[in-house]
Amino acid sequence: MMNKLVCLLLAVFSFTSAAQPPRKAAIASAHFLATEAGHEILAKGGNAFDAAVAVSAVLSVVEPQSSGLGGGGFYLLHRASDGKQVMLDAREEAPQAAHRDMYLDTNGQVVRDWLLNGPKAAGIPGLPAGLVHLNRHYGRLSLAEDLAPAIRIAEQGFPAYPRYVEAIKRKIDVIRRYPASQKAFLINGRVPKVGDIIRRPDLAKTLKAIARKGRAGFYQGPVARKLVKASRKHGGIWTREDLKKYQVKERAPIITTYGGKTLVTAPPPSSGGIALATMLNILSAWDLKKMAKTDPAKRVHLTVEAMRRAYRDRSVYLGDPDFVDIPVKRLIHPYYADGLRASIRDDKAMPSNLLPGLKHAPQGNHTTHFSIIDKEGNLVSATLTVNTSLASGFVAAGTGVLFNNEMDDFSAKPGQPNAYGLIGGEANAIAPGKRPLSSMTPTFVMGPDDVAVLGTPGGSRIITMVLLGILDFYDGHGPASWVSLPRYHHQYLPDAIYLEPNALNTDIVKQLEQRGHRVVRMSHPWGFMNATWWDKHSGQTKAASDPRWTTGKGEVK
Ligand code: DON
């Protein structure tokens, strides 16, 4: 009798708790053509992973200021059929001829131009290998099918839009140095106007070579020869061997729990997952949801103190895990967070220089993030980059490929800040074949009731944006709120809280200053968060794109 009752209860329980598959797929990306391409591929019978290939490839055409074949990225995947969770590390890699002092002049000073502009700034690209790997191991359609929308758009053209035009204007001096860059980004030598149709025939040819030959279409053969020739002609150091040996790496995600949900997020060479785990472990001691109502200034203060400590660890410990030993277990352990929390006072900011660590010490949205949920419950959270806006500004003749400037994510000299004001030391020093430390933090938050897929561009601020988005999810809000929420940021050094315009009211700012925080109000917002959400009870899905940049033309669907 008792057994029957237990069985009955179990049956009722498992019936009510069974997840409803998503009723429709949800995609949020930085451009409506990319989101449309993702849905086109799903309609053809592809899964979320095929859609991710299509979305990435279209973004490489229509949003070259943010990501592309000459760049890299991280794909966080969840496969519904067997629950496999993995991060594809398609991060750029330092060429074999790279060495630790390669960006120092004869006086030992960092030459920012070498790190940011031209082919010397570029690591060996990972994105093409990432697309091929994603299609081959996780997709259902052929690579040619997944790449077809991007090839079509590169050939037929897309209308120039304000963010694209602005990116070209900002990089014009570098573009003018290189004929192939002018061909790719200018029209008869002038900056395009909004609405001009942009065609990228050379890039279409490179995409076709990948569609036909897979990896070899990019990393070997005519495309590889052109990339290396162009690099060396203009002062770069790439070799054919560097390209041939590039490999995507499958990495186990960082997994941590917070408030009854599981976070699945980016492991090294991203610093994001470890920093998120540290921050959430520190914050787990308080009821932040309640505090948002009772003492919002204290909530910001405690969150900032968690940020400060996690970013200190970033600068001291983190780098490419294939080159440095990272004490991951310790850094993400709740006991370690207990130790960090013990030095946090309610009433006072702790100056960063009192934390043991390095003695030395931001910007926009020139990277791209998209989030996908398909009807089978497969999830993709992908952050892709060429680093700063329009990257190195260098296009290799005959390929349409814009070289990244990801080498700036290394620590070119201990204690010297990079483009995001981040400092680093030994763990992130340049070495041949090493991958530069990243802040990109593609993330899933998986709870019993619902699932969040989120991430954003924004350099060093990525990690704190993802944290604030996650905390907002725990406050009970949906994706439209996570992406639009006002942002604040602290990264250990410089020792200040950075605020978006109107992020915090004057009363809260005053209370933070009374605790000893330096508060810097920035004149412009940051980030371009794209998120999706799935309610497991109803099967409802939602997609949301950052209102700071959304045009309303269909970035979400
Ligand atoms: O991997 C990183 O952390 C950087 N290269 C990301 C750059 C970025 O988000 C640019 N947007 N402002």
User: Are 266 and 214 part of one and the same domain?
Assistant: no
Find the helix packing angle between 48-62 and 201-213, rounded to 10°. Answer: 150
- Strands of 85-90's sheet in order across: 26-28, 367-373, 379-385, 72-78, 85-90, 249-251
Q: What is d(CA 388, CA 386) in angstroms, rounded to the nearest whole number?
A: 6
User: Are 47 and 82 part of one and the same domain?
Assistant: yes
Q: What is d(CA 28, CA 372) in angstroms, rounded to the nearest whole number?
A: 7
User: Are 470 and 399 part of one and the same domain?
Assistant: no
Q: Is the CB of 363 under 6 A from ligand 1?
A: yes
| Within a domain: 167 | yes
Contacts of 1 (CB under 8 A, 6+ apart): none
| Within a domain: 414 | no
User: Are 230 and 335 part of one and the same domain?
Assistant: no
| Within a domain: 10 | no
| The pLDDT of residue 512 | 98
Which range marks the domain in which residue 197 is found? 30-249+392-407
User: Are 227 and 268 part of one and the same domain?
Assistant: no
Q: Is the CB of 387 under 6 A from ligand 1?
A: yes
Contacts of 301 (CB under 8 A, 6+ apart): 346, 349, 511, 512, 515, 517
Residue type, 472: D
Residue with CA at minimum distance from ligand 1 atom 6 = 459
Decide: 63 and 162 in contact? Cβ < 8 Å.
no
Tell me the pLDDT of the chain averaged across its residues. 94
| Within a domain: 551 | yes
CA of 250 from ligand 1 middle (Å) equals 21
Instruction: Please state the atom number of ligand 1 nearest to the C-alpha of residue 408.
Output: 5
Q: Which residues of 229-244 are buried (b: 16+ CB within 10 A; e: fewer)?
A: bbbeebebbbbeebbe
Q: Which of 171, 383, 462, 524 to mutate to test the pocket of ligand 1 (most atoms within 8 A of CB)?
A: 462
Give whole-number Cα distances, 275 to 281, 448, 488, in Å: 10, 24, 16
| The pLDDT of residue 364 | 52
- Strands of 488-489's sheet in order across: 488-489, 497-499, 519-521
Domain boundary among 407, 430, 458: 407
| The pLDDT of residue 88 | 98
User: Are 330 and 303 part of one and the same domain?
Assistant: yes
Instruction: Please state the atom number of ligand 1 nearest to the C-alpha of residue 387.
Output: 5
| The pLDDT of residue 550 | 82
Decide: 543 and 532 in contact? Cβ < 8 Å.
yes
To the query of whether residue 16 is one of the catalytic residues in this protein, the response is no
Q: Is the CB of 368 under 6 A from ligand 1?
A: no
Q: Which of 385, 388, 406 to mutate to test the pocket of ligand 1 (most atoms within 8 A of CB)?
A: 385
User: Are 333 and 240 part of one and the same domain?
Assistant: no
Catalytic-role residue among 367, 385, 441, 541: 367
DSSP SS3 for 22: coil
DSSP SS3 for 402: strand
Nearest to 76 by CA among 480, 511, 440, 460: 440
| The pLDDT of residue 239 | 98
Say if residue 374 is exposed, middle or buried (CB neighbours under 10 Å; 0-12, 13-18, 19+): buried
CA of 23 from ligand 1 middle (Å) equals 33
Take residue 101 and report the two structure tokens written for it: 């002092």
User: Are 83 and 184 part of one and the same domain?
Assistant: yes
Q: What is the pTM of this model?
A: 0.94
In eight-state DSSP terms, residue 89 is E
| The pLDDT of residue 360 | 34
| Within a domain: 523 | yes
Print pLDDT tens along the chain (557 aa).
Answer: 445 544 444 444 444 457 899 999 999 999 999 999 999 999 999 999 999 999 999 999 999 999 999 999 999 999 999 999 999 999 999 999 999 999 999 999 999 999 999 999 999 999 999 999 999 999 999 999 999 999 999 999 999 999 999 999 999 999 999 999 999 999 999 999 999 999 999 999 999 999 999 999 999 999 999 999 999 999 999 999 999 999 999 999 999 999 999 999 999 999 999 999 999 999 999 999 999 999 999 999 999 999 999 999 999 999 999 999 999 999 999 999 999 999 999 999 999 988 866 433 334 568 999 999 999 999 999 999 999 999 999 999 999 999 999 999 999 988 888 888 888 888 999 999 999 999 999 999 999 999 999 999 999 999 999 999 999 999 999 999 999 999 999 999 899 999 999 899 999 999 999 999 999 999 889 999 999 999 999 999 999 999 998 888 888 99
User: Are 456 and 510 part of one and the same domain?
Assistant: yes
| The pLDDT of residue 19 | 87
User: Are 316 and 329 part of one and the same domain?
Assistant: yes
CA of 80 from ligand 1 middle (Å) equals 29
Q: How many structural domains does the chain have?
A: 2
| Within a domain: 530 | yes
Residue type, 479: P
| Within a domain: 133 | yes
Q: Is the CB of 231 under 6 A from ligand 1?
A: no
Sign of CA dihedral 180, 370, 265, 362: positive
| Within a domain: 375 | no
User: Are 52 and 173 part of one and the same domain?
Assistant: yes
Domain boundary among 407, 431, 458: 407
Let me know the angle formed at the C-alpha of 143 by 142 and 144, rounded to the nearest 5 degrees.
90
Instruction: Please state the atom number of ligand 1 nearest to the C-alpha of residue 91.
Output: 1
**How many other CB atoms sit within 10 Å of the CB of residue 47?**
23
Q: Which of 439, 463, 466, 487 to mutate to test the pocket of ligand 1 (most atoms within 8 A of CB)?
A: 439
Residue 267: give its domain's CATH number.
1.10.246.130
User: Are 230 and 256 part of one and the same domain?
Assistant: no
